[in-house]
Structure 1
Amino acid sequence: MDPDLVLEGLDPEQLEAARSVRGPVCILAGAGTGKTRAITHRIAYAVASGVVPEQQVLAVTFTTRAAGEMRGRLRSLGAPRVQARTFHAAALRQLSYFWPQAVGGPKPTLISSKIQIVAEAAHSCALQLDRTGLRDLAGEIEWAKVSQIRPADYETGVVKAGRTAPMPARDVARVFDAYEELRRERNLLDFEAMLELTAAMLTESPQIAEQVRAQYRYFVVDEFQDVNPLQKLLLDAWLGERDDLCVVGDPNQTIYSFAGATPAYLTGFSAAYPHATVVRLVRDYRSSPQVVRVANTSLTQARGPAAQHRLELVAQRPDGPDPTYTEYDDEPAEATSVARKIAALIDAGTPAREIAVLFRTNSQSAAYEQALSDADVPYTLRGATQFFDRPEIRRAVHTLRGAGRGDDGESLVTAVRHLLSQPQIGLTETPPEGRQARERWESLAALAQLAEDVAAERPGATMADFVAELDARVATEHAPELEGVTLASLHSAKGLEWDAVFLVGLTEGMLPIIYAEGPDQVEEERRLFYVGVTRAREYLALSWALARSPGGRRSRKPSHFLDGLRPASPSLAGQRSERRRQAKPAQCRICGTTLTDAPERKLGRCLDCPADYDEELLERLKAWRREISAEQKVPAYVVFTDATLQAIAEHVPTGVSQLSRISGVGAVKLERYGEAVLALCAGREPAPVGGGGGADDDSSEEDHR
């Protein structure tokens, strides 16, 4: 590829980074500034310019998905043979190759989880721990190992680090020692031991080090603020005395210090390499100016080494809505209101998958799962079972792989849907009732949608092509997008982005978390807040509740991270008054009882009160919905939920104003489906629905506001 073509479309700072083809280079890249674009173009430009053969480049990142994305971009830029891997994948490949020469004997078994061995080690030390305690202990052992602290040194090491152990330090050290003994006896290798052995192999065997360094001489490390001491040890072993190294990261996105990550290697890069080229990427292409303003302001009170390298982001997108700040009396009220606002966004045209609710701890998700279920809003829980590890997906992929060995002439989409609809797999035309059943259905529906995407991108694609796509995605953990609102902790949201983000539970004791006692820990919590803010492209809502339960003592205080961001308290009081005015309880139109559940409020009556509706009309509405969902390739509930259709059948609206008053019929759905629904209510055949796409339609900026 022509080197100059590689540089097309880069902004001035990205261009400077791409042209700096000789190390050492440090790229400080703020959130949304195109760091992956900058480093992949830099690699491709170096290859196209003849600076380095592509097979001698090793690009290292932290997740298989990020590595897969990097490889995909490099292929499109004409550098398909560049190695882009995680630290662990690169180390495992080298250790496996050189094992007979460096160590000899049977290769160890790599374990992905320490829990079982930690449980046995704890039992041998006469300690009885539940699963939560075992997870905490496994995490503590992992921290010690990446920090290069041995069992005998743990008690002094944890004090020196200012770290609070999950149990008495002496007991941690005993279990740690027993764990290592069991691991060695059984010839097991955990991820930390794998990195350590690889580094030791390169350090102790000049011959092996020479071979590896001849293979790789051009290094790029992404997310350098997340490097821990053990990973840095391996990187130094790879480099030797050379300095052809490019690192990229943002000190103010360091949020994994609890796992041993440190921004010190990034902030101290210029001191380690005085002749290094330093490039700062500050043009934010992700977020609106309003969101960027919150992000920048949130770090003005930051302290410490990371704050000294703070990047002032410059928004490149058009104006968006102002972020909202809302105080609630209690957590259920907060969750219910957030669910209602999300439903309104979806009705206005924002796809559910472009909306996220982010919280500090996973325990906060339950209230939002319930509130979204009550509002008939689909959701996915990030950090739960990985997509390709789900039982229904494993069965489906196994079935599809078997079908990939033959070709019966069916179109790809038809063949995939036929296989997924088999009884042992379970994809039905419409989603079932029940949260878990619906989650399984949505997973299978995502596979069917992926087949449609592949067929659209590659007309004539076969089942074998689809299976190859699935295998590539399984290898890189690149799950298809699920049509649902994302519920995620702030830590698991790192690296992702959405059109609309709700940051919830922003109280003292939750963010910053109550056990963030020292100034360094509080600063990490501030960075976590910053990461949450910068996930939003356009719509950002920040909220907190004064009490945990309705009627409880309203003693909580808003997070001090909101100081200087949120409006003055009088306007908040006005918001509370407005919420109380709007939240007038609905009553059953039959018996007068106050309605609390979302389906009851939607129907306007208690579920056990006698229904008075036209059963024939309800069946016509459901048949029409099936046709529309098939035509627009969306789940039936995205058109209208069962509860909404039943409410329509009970009220039988005769005009637009009556139809619009039914819960679940928002402005966009009224415009898209109103005429057809009213025709059905009047006993007429509905006209074809235009606009297609259901909840996936793009919406205007005004829609989002």
Structure 2
Amino acid sequence: MAPTPEQLKILAENKPGYFLIKGAAGSGKTTTALLRLHQLCLNWLSRRDRLGLADQVRVLVLTYNRTLEGYIGELARQQVSKSDALNLQVSTFSKWALEAIGETEVLNHNQAASFLRPLANRLPLDSDFVIEEAGYVLSRFRPDDLELYLTKRRDGRGTNPRMDQRLKRRLLDEVIAPYMALKGSRGVYDWNDVAVAASNVNEVLPWDVVIIDETQDFSANQVRAVLRHLAETFSVTFVMDAAQRIYPRFFTWKEAGVTAFSKTYSLKQNYRNTKQIAAFARPLVEGLPLDGDGAMPDFTACTKEGTLPIMVAGSYRAQIEYIINRTLRTVDLTTESVAFLQPRGGQWFSFLRAELKHRNIPFVELTRESKWPKKLGGVALCTLHSAKGLEFDHVILPGLNREVTPHGHEDGDVHLDTLRRLIAMGVGRARESICLGFSREDPSTVVNLLDPDTYELVTV
């Protein structure tokens, strides 16, 4: 894993403090984080010896989800030599926070939504939007500071639906307050409560070095919890790209506790995608709102040539049959990786699983898996959300129909903006080729955003 000229500048920096690494899709953010992890471990072990310290150097790497945890954990073990003087932990925020606060009953996403939905129906807005907005409020502000929602600027999502002051007040009084009371009466937490509780724990040993990958999808309360448990002298590195934010969790660094960065770096070169893949993805992100930490992909920064992406129009069964016959039969699955990514998991993979088994094509499922498979090639099944931070030789996104990609239809709709970022992120996982499938009768809106000159259309 030889560092690039861009990465060498970052690796040369070993001062304590807060550091921010911003990069567009394919720019090597995760690789940079791992190289920096290796360098910081060496630097801090050397510092320990120089100062004659007895305590271990404590290093924490936090990832966005369990799948990425498994991937980074495997690579981190390759990067960092074992030492009795080093305590290295790679974890998701949720796992780390639960270890800090101890066992407690936590509502999963569906359970929390079932608590919120009857309350959300009180407002003259789509209930899914109200549930999402309540989650944003509870993830950004401390329980004692919820009133700040009325005055703080709300960025990081589309402009519709619009929350005026009257609706904000009703959200606090008629949805969030009774929701918190209901949780209290049941003696349960949601994941926002876990972040707040982890911030308040006093018994956690402090961390010398912290690296947070995909920081754009962490909440303010999660960042606060981590920063609450730093050593007196520390190094914290945030690695992110706000253009790939798939959850509307915007917050300012200052309110999360970061008053100033010792250094900010930007990674611009796209090392992963071919020119053809980058051109294909461009319409998905053009025009989307960016905050100060966003990095719009530079589509002139790719140097690798490849084949045109393929769009397959037809029934889902026909899409899968064509893709298996054209793609899986023409790649070397012992050395090349193929990922089937879909917006939703569970039953949406049922037909694909059955078809792969019928054709004796082995596959692994990566969604929520914290143990990364050691095999380099082969077929993987994964949801789009769990694919963040990963990369594959060939990426296939079948079944992009309206049914699995719902959203509003007004300009600036928050769900459409999020969907565009999500699909663009999935496309950007591909190193060599990309294939999308959709129904001719019910195509997802994102299909119509794509430029026909950037892909080959196949009707099956």
Query: Matches of 1:491 and 1:378 in 2, distance apart?
Result: 24
2:411 corresponds to 1:525: no
Q: CA RMSD in A?
A: 4.9
User: In the superposition, relative to structure 1, how do residues 250 and 126 fare at CA in structure 2: closer, same or farther (>3 Å)?
Assistant: closer
Q: How does 1:14-163 map to 2 (within 5 A)?
A: 14-22=7-15, 23-50=17-44, 52-53=47-48, 55-76=57-78, 77-78=80-81, 80=83, 81=86, 82-96=88-102, 109-111=104-106, 113=108, 143-148=136-141
Extract unaligned runs of 5+ from structure 1: 1-7, 97-107, 203-207, 388-475, 549-554, 580-705
2:6 corresponds to 1:13: yes
SS at match of 2:228: helix
Query: Matches of 2:359 and 2:400 in 1, distance apart?
Result: 25
User: In the superposition, relative to structure 1, how do residues 307 and 144 fare at CA in structure 2: closer, same or farther (>3 Å)?
Assistant: closer
SS at match of 2:57: helix
How far 1:173 sits from its partner (Å)? 4.1
Instruction: Specify which of 284, 305, 310 is matched with residue 324 of structure 1.
Output: 310
User: Which residue number corresponds to residue 291 of structure 1?
Assistant: 277
Query: Matches of 2:285 and 2:262 in 1, distance apart?
Result: 26
Code of the aligned partner of 1:229: A
CA contact (8 A) 2:408 2:415 kept: no
User: Which residue number corresponds to residue 346 of structure 1?
Assistant: 328
How far 1:227 sits from its partner (Å)? 1.6
Provide, for residues 173-232 of structure 1, a one-character-per-residue CA deviation record: whole Å limited to 9, x for no partner.
476134322343xxx555433321231345xxxxx6xx84xx323332211111212112
Q: Report the structure, 1 or 2, having the larger helix content.
A: 1
How far 1:171 sits from its partner (Å)? 6.5
How far 1:500 sits from its partner (Å)? 2.4
How far 1:56 sits from its partner (Å)? 3.3
| TM-score of the aligned structures, taking structure 1 as reference length | 0.50
CA contact (8 A) 1:88 1:191 kept: yes
How far 1:109 sits from its partner (Å)? 3.0
User: Which residue number corresponds to residue 395 of structure 1?
Assistant: none
Query: Matches of 1:30 and 1:83 in 2, distance apart?
Result: 26
User: Which residue number corresponds to residue 464 of structure 1?
Assistant: none
User: In the superposition, relative to structure 1, how do residues 183 and 160 fare at CA in structure 2: closer, same or farther (>3 Å)?
Assistant: farther
Query: Matches of 2:233 and 2:47 in 1, distance apart?
Result: 14
Query: Matches of 1:558 and 1:111 in 2, distance apart?
Result: 35
Query: Matches of 1:179 and 1:477 in 2, distance apart?
Result: 36
Provide, for residues 257-280 of structure 1, a one-character-per-residue CA deviation record: whole Å limited to 9, x for no partner.
2xxx337549x99x952x632222
User: In the superposition, relative to structure 1, how do residues 482 and 138 fare at CA in structure 2: closer, same or farther (>3 Å)?
Assistant: farther
Provide, for residues 56-89 of structure 1, a one-character-per-residue CA deviation record: whole Å limited to 9, x for no partner.
3333223345445445444443255233333233
Q: How does 1:370-519 map to 2 (within 5 A)?
A: 372=355, 376=359, 378=361, 476-478=370-372, 485-505=379-399, 513-514=407-408, 518-519=412-413
Provide, for residues 230-251 of structure 1, a one-character-per-residue CA deviation record: whole Å limited to 9, x for no partner.
1122134235987732111111
CA contact (8 A) 1:359 1:505 kept: yes
Query: Matches of 1:542 and 1:189 in 2, distance apart?
Result: 39
Question: Looking at CA atoms only, which structure, 1 or 2, has the larger radius of gyration?
Answer: 1
How far 1:151 sits from its partner (Å)? 11
Instruction: Specify which of 211, 215, 221 is matched with residue 212 of structure 2.
Output: 221
Higher mean C-alpha deviation, range 361-370 or range 27-36: 361-370
Query: Matches of 2:111 and 2:289 in 1, distance apart?
Result: 40
Q: How does 1:225-304 map to 2 (within 5 A)?
A: 225-239=216-230, 244-257=235-248, 261-262=249-250, 265=253, 272-273=259-260, 276-296=262-282, 298-304=284-290
User: In the superposition, relative to structure 1, how do residues 223 and 304 fare at CA in structure 2: closer, same or farther (>3 Å)?
Assistant: closer
Query: Matches of 1:365 and 1:115 in 2, distance apart?
Result: 17
Query: Matches of 1:294 and 1:171 in 2, distance apart?
Result: 44
CA contact (8 A) 1:508 1:559 kept: no
Instruction: Specify which of 155, 172, 179 is matched with residue 182 of structure 2.
Output: 179
SS at match of 2:307: coil
CA contact (8 A) 1:339 1:375 kept: no
Query: Matches of 2:444 and 2:365 in 1, distance apart?
Result: 28
User: In the superposition, relative to structure 1, how do residues 363 and 241 fare at CA in structure 2: closer, same or farther (>3 Å)?
Assistant: same
SS at match of 2:279: helix
Query: Matches of 1:194 and 1:308 in 2, distance apart?
Result: 28
CA contact (8 A) 2:339 2:379 kept: yes
2:447 corresponds to 1:559: yes
Aligned residue-pair number: 428
User: In the superposition, relative to structure 1, how do residues 372 and 115 fare at CA in structure 2: closer, same or farther (>3 Å)?
Assistant: closer
User: Which residue number corresponds to residue 196 of structure 2?
Assistant: 196
CA contact (8 A) 2:241 2:293 kept: no
Query: Matches of 1:139 and 1:568 in 2, distance apart?
Result: 34
User: Which residue number corresponds to residue 53 of structure 2?
Assistant: none
Q: Report the structure, 1 or 2, having the larger strand content.
A: 2
CA contact (8 A) 1:356 1:486 kept: yes
Query: Matches of 2:112 and 2:448 in 1, distance apart?
Result: 41
CA contact (8 A) 2:208 2:231 kept: no
| TM-score of the aligned structures, taking structure 2 as reference length | 0.72
